[in-house]
Amino acid sequence: MRLLPAAAGSGIVFRRTDLDNFEISAIGRNVAKVSYATSLMRQGVLISTTEHLLSALIGMGVDNVIVELDNLELPILDGSALPYVEAFLRAGIRTQRRKRETIRVLRAVEVREGDKFIGVYPGAGYRISYAIDFPAPIGKQRTCVDLAAETYGTTIAPARTFGYLADEKRLRDMGLIRGANAKNAIILGAKGPINGPLRFSDEYVRHKVLDLIGDLALAGRRIEGHVVAERAGHAMHTAFVARLLKDRSVWELAHVPVTAAAAAEDAERSAARLRAPALVGA
């Protein structure tokens, strides 16, 4: 996989170098059937497991980029978005002169499905509140993150994906999680992670925030508002994007300046935090 700079306003575009540079934009109408991961499909060409890279891009403020891939699946890396963030910081992020186009939420939009819920409300910046309630040993966790506070690289990106040891055989039989192992996911036994330690005591809910940011990237532009999610997953995240895009009366396109000084400072601060020993992951 290789990331290339793109012109202002072009968005996030995947390019299959093994298929004559066929391009698929990271936008809602290209979302494919979703289960354990989020995939994009156009004219039968698939790009799978897009959520962690998209999360890292949005979290670090990258609006325009070309992502070259020579196969259909994005690398799982360590199960988090931290390796992407580190790579972006090594390459550098340039501020483009054109203002950033955002989806500014004007009225509440809510989707409920049994005890699962996602809502978005008007508000400055991009805030996400997430609550989960998983079987033991995870239980209930909740967290809130403000992406405008530039803490994505340290508070969200390092959180890894997770799975229950008890589900492993069933998922493998279904052809899912083929590549999952103790190096790219937290594996949960009855009493806790069997491949600890955790990077955060609430790493699970932080990873759900990471996934949600990646899935909401499929709105095609950064969201300006407050998102609240409870017990949701990829299918609901992407259903929510479709619902949001369909109703043009609940949001408007806004143009927000991004200053070069602020972007450079953010990157520098993130880099400094990333060098802290506490974040050198398992």
Give catalytic residue positions.
234
Q: Return the SS3 of 6.
A: coil
> How far is residue 109's CA from residue 94's CA, in Å, rounded to a whole number?
33
Which has the closest alpha carbon to 185: 280, 78, 85, 282? 78
Which has the closest alpha carbon to 34: 49, 56, 44, 45? 49
> How far is residue 73's CA from residue 246's CA, in Å, rounded to a whole number?
28
Q: State the alpha helices, DSSP H only, in 217-259.
A: 234-246
Minimal distance, residue 147 CB to Zn ion, in Å: 17
* Cβ nearer to Zn ion, comparing 150 with 211: 211
Number of residues that bind Zn ion (CB under 5 A): 2
Minimal distance, residue 210 CB to Zn ion, in Å: 6
Minimal distance, residue 123 CB to Zn ion, in Å: 25
* Cβ nearer to Zn ion, comparing 55 with 270: 55
* Cβ nearer to Zn ion, comparing 203 with 211: 211
> How far is residue 59's CA from residue 53's CA, in Å, rounded to a whole number?
10
Per the CB < 8 A criterion, the answer to whether 152 and 127 are in contact is: no
* Cβ nearer to Zn ion, comparing 109 with 227: 227
From residue 189 to residue 228, what is the string marking binding to Zn ion with x (rule CB under 5 A)?
----------------------x-----------------
* Cβ nearer to Zn ion, comparing 78 with 211: 211
Q: Return the SS3 of 256.
A: strand
Rg (CA), the chain: 18
**DSSP codes joined into one string, 16-66:** EGGGTTEEEESSGGGB---SSS-EEEETTEEEE--HHHHHHHHHTT---EE
Minimal distance, residue 27 CB to Zn ion, in Å: 20
- Does 63 bind Zn ion (CB under 5 A)? Our answer is no
From residue 143 to residue 172, what is the string marking binding to Zn ion with x (rule CB under 5 A)?
------------------x-----------
- Type and span of the H or E element at 228: strand 222-230
Minimal distance, residue 262 CB to Zn ion, in Å: 28
Residues of this chain that bind Zn ion (CB under 5 A) = 161, 211
